[in-house]
């Protein structure tokens, strides 16, 4: 009796677990991003991601239920879950979605740090406060996530030993933010120049 490809050992013990692993990586990556977007209040993105997350999950689980005695599929499912969490966080980190609050507490003159941040297009607010040992200045700055490295560079240039914290901000209104610069490489004019009839 001839055995079909989908009933062969090659498919059941290598290809099928591999497909389940990939599917699980995809759905958990999407799920991780969905949770992050929910936490950031992105109501228009989270439901869209949730649809594909559940769709892929159902497909993966249904294949496992059809091969319930195949323990390699279980291992692939668990490995895909673990890998998906890592991949999802990497993707979200690369996207750098949202804004963050930087709080700087320094005994030095905070107005100079405010000027340094302002001169680089970053908003900052200075508050005078009393610390445990002396009076301090607290500087607040709300920046886009992809501007965090530049903001921290400025803060460290002001005082390499300064104390600061970085926190997520759910929503913002108004404020001072650097203008987004679109690389000329990806501008609409250049895209149209590259696309010509007959090429």
Domain-located, residue 191? no
Domain boundary among 63, 95, 127: 95
Q: How far apart are CA 156 and CA 186, in angstroms?
A: 33
To which residue do tokens 């759910």 refer? 170
In this predicted structure, the answer to whether residue 58 has a pLDDT above a threshold of 80 is yes
Is 184 domain-assigned? Answer: no
Tell me the pLDDT tens digit for each residue of 126-170.
999 988 788 999 999 988 888 888 999 999 999 998 999 998 876
Where a domain ends, among 50, 67, 95? 95
Do 83 and 125 fall within a single domain? no
> Does 9 reside within a domain?
yes
**Whether 88 and 9 share a structural domain:** yes
Q: What is the pTM of this model?
A: 0.61
Range of the domain at 28: 5-95
* pLDDT tens digits for range 93-137: 777 677 889 999 999 999 999 999 999 889 899 999 988 788 999
Backbone angles phi, psi at 139, to 5 degrees: -115, 125
Using CA atoms of 153, 154, 160, 165 in order, give the dihedral in degrees to the nearest 10.
-80
């Amino acid at each position: 009796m001839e055995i079909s490809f989908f009933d062969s050992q090659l498919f059941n013990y290598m290809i099928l677990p591999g497909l389940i692993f990939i599917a699980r990586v995809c759905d958990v990556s999407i799920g991780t991003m969905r949770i992050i977007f929910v936490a950031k209040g992105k109501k228009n993105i989270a439901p869209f991601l949730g649809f594909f997350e559940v769709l892929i999950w159902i497909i993966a689980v249904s294949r496992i239920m059809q091969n319930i005695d195949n323990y390699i599929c279980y291992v692939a499912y668990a490995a895909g879950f673990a890998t998906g969490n890592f991949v999802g966080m990497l993707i979200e980190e690369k996207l750098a979605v949202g804004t963050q609050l930087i709080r700087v507490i320094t005994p030095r003159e905070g107005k100079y740090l405010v000027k340094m941040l302002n001169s680089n297009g970053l908003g900052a607010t200075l508050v005078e406060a009393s610390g445990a040992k002396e009076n301090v200045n607290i500087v607040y700055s709300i920046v886009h996530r992809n501007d965090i490295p530049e903001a921290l560079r400025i803060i460290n240039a002001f005082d390499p030993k300064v104390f600061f914290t970085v926190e997520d901000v759910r929503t913002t209104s108004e404020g001072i933010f650097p203008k987004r610069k679109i690389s000329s490489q990806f501008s609409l004019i250049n895209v149209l120049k590259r696309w010509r009839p007959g090429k």
